Structure 1
Amino acid sequence: MQKPGQPTPLFAVEGVSVRFGGVRALENVSLEVAPHEVLGVIGPNGAGKTTLFNVVCGFVTPADGELRLRGETIPGLRPHQLAGHGIARTLQGLGLFERMTVLDNVMVGADRLARAGFVRSLLGLGHRDDARLAGKAREVLGELGIESYATRYPGSLPYPIRKKVALARALVAEPELLLLDEPASGLSAEEMSELGEIITGLTERTAVMLVEHHMDLVMSVCHRITVLDFGRVIAAGSPDEIRNDPAVLAAYLGDEIEEAV
């Protein structure tokens, strides 16, 4: 995929195929994420977006192809290994611990920064990094404007705040690559606009791979977009190129792309 003279991408999916029984969920899918860019992955229902995200997160093992990080193949990636590779993710289900405060939820995300591990501390094994991790967690909560919720429990918070908590938990690990799965789901237009500003600001510290179906958000924050349909890449390019690609318009977007202009 990489041409001679081109810089090595931060992350690459190369020739990935996934089959569930006789169904081909992904077929020879390739994409790259450069440092400090936002790559959008879009497509209609059943296009393979979720399967691709699950491959990248280590939930699904591809039948063919490989994942590469900083030019090196990542063999047999598993979800619990993501943080160790400098990758963090948010999921549609948020996955917050309801019996832990917001601060503790975010500190769990900082586990890879601790020598002994915050999760071990929760189990009573202890370490000396608690104060440092709590400070880091509060710093990230402050950046997202939700530090005042630090002592609250997720179940008592509005959904948009919980989404920010999940984002803070991912960011506190200081990832090089942040994976966002449908981050705009359940948000109002105003909240989605704020999310767009947040994502744009994140490129100062990390690259972002965004799986999303809200085209106005995708077109406003992404540097490049990869389009899937029936498990195959049918287009890849800048938002303007995707917006005007006949294959994309014919496949599924049509007026929705035009409305996002």
Structure 2
Amino acid sequence: MNEPVTAVLRCAGVRRSFGALKAVDGVDLTVAAGARHALIGPNGAGKSTLFKLVTGVLRTHAGTVELAGRDVTGLSEVRRCRLGMSQTLQHASLFASMNAVQTVALAVRRHGVDGTGGRRISPFPHREPEVYHRAEQLLADVGLAGRGGVLVPSLSHGERKQLEVALALACRPTLLLLDEPAAGMSPAESARLVGLLAGLPPEITVLFVEHDLDLVFELADAVTVLHLGRVLLSGSPEQIRASDEVGEAYLGSGRTELFLS
């Protein structure tokens, strides 16, 4: 009898170079099912490159990427999405001419109301009540209930970030990847984001890159630190806080106190 898959994402020996620069240099990473797993590190550590290797935006030069026990290393970004991997981007583009519910409805049409497949865009959207019902549900799930009729440019920065999460959830992911989800947010918006992500159902595993360490230590139950393209340390938030090696890589020798606040 096969043992159940407990790792939603597993990277083994993943490498990617750009000329002489080893951006990701033999990274091993395991993300447990249901985890809120943070990927942190100083600027230039390789976090964004690793994210692109996981999602299929970039190809690995060596190593493997597995999603729920399946090797997806050679699959495209679209194929990985169909298998349950979804993402938000650090700099996403949204349709300025649409309101929030219309934007989410596009994603619902693409992936299907029940997750079994999409449909063509209808010239008669009023004939698709189930699509708009699902879109309104997703907006409510991310804290945007009642904001569906607001044009995207009129949403606050934080609300647009929430909208991006709704779009990512439209494909019913098992693994949700967030690239700096709190970038540019006010403290109040960051607090709402933490509540949103913490409240996602446990069947959705979250891997996120974030520079806001207060948010990381509040939300994450596991943390991996990258430095110079390699894993410096993986462990619980408490283990990361207590590591002099991590503090030195981030802040310089003798400046680990910020991790202990």
Same topology, TM > 0.5: yes
Q: Show the counterpart of 1:194.
A: 192
Q: Quote how far apart the aligned CAs of 1:116 are.
A: 6.2
- Write the deviation string for residues 142-175 of structure 1: whole angstroms up to 9, x where unpaired: 1223132212221122111111111111112221
Paired residue total: 255
Q: Show the counterpart of 2:77.
A: 79
Q: Show the counterpart of 1:112.
A: 111
Q: Show the counterpart of 1:49.
A: 47
Runs of 5+ unmatched residues, structure 1: none
Q: Show the counterpart of 1:59.
A: 57
Counterparts of residues 1-261 of structure 1 (less than 5 Å): 7-110=5-108, 111-114=110-113, 117-118=118-119, 120-121=120-121, 130-253=128-251, 255=255, 258=258, 261=261
Aligned to 1:220, what secondary structure does the other structure show? helix
Q: Quote how far apart the aligned CAs of 1:186 are.
A: 0.8
- Write the deviation string for residues 20-48 of structure 1: whole angstroms up to 9, x where unpaired: 11111000001111111111000011000
Cα distance in 1 for partners of 2:246, 2:37 equals 17
- Write the deviation string for residues 85-130 of structure 1: whole angstroms up to 9, x where unpaired: 1111111112212222211211233222256625x315x5x89993
Superposition misfits of 4+ residues, deviation over 6 angstroms: 126-129
Aligned to 2:199, what secondary structure does the other structure show? helix
Aligned to 1:36, what secondary structure does the other structure show? coil
Q: Quote how far apart the aligned CAs of 1:67 are.
A: 0.8
Cα distance in 1 for partners of 2:64, 2:126 equals 38
Cα distance in 2 for partners of 1:256, 1:185 equals 23
Cα distance in 1 for partners of 2:44, 2:13 equals 19
Cα distance in 2 for partners of 1:19, 1:191 equals 36
TM-score, length-scaled by structure 2: 0.89
Cα distance in 2 for partners of 1:50, 1:9 equals 21
Cα distance in 1 for partners of 2:164, 2:135 equals 12
Cα distance in 2 for partners of 1:241, 1:131 equals 49
TM-score, length-scaled by structure 1: 0.89
Cα distance in 1 for partners of 2:76, 2:40 equals 24
Q: CA RMSD in A?
A: 2.4
- Check 1:250–1:88 CA distance in 2 against 1; reply closer, same or farther (3 A cut): same
- Check 1:257–1:172 CA distance in 2 against 1; reply closer, same or farther (3 A cut): farther
- The residue type paired with residue 138 of structure 1 is E
Aligned to 1:44, what secondary structure does the other structure show? coil
Percent identity of the aligned residues?
A: 34
Between 1:129-138 and 1:81-90, the stretch displaced more is 129-138
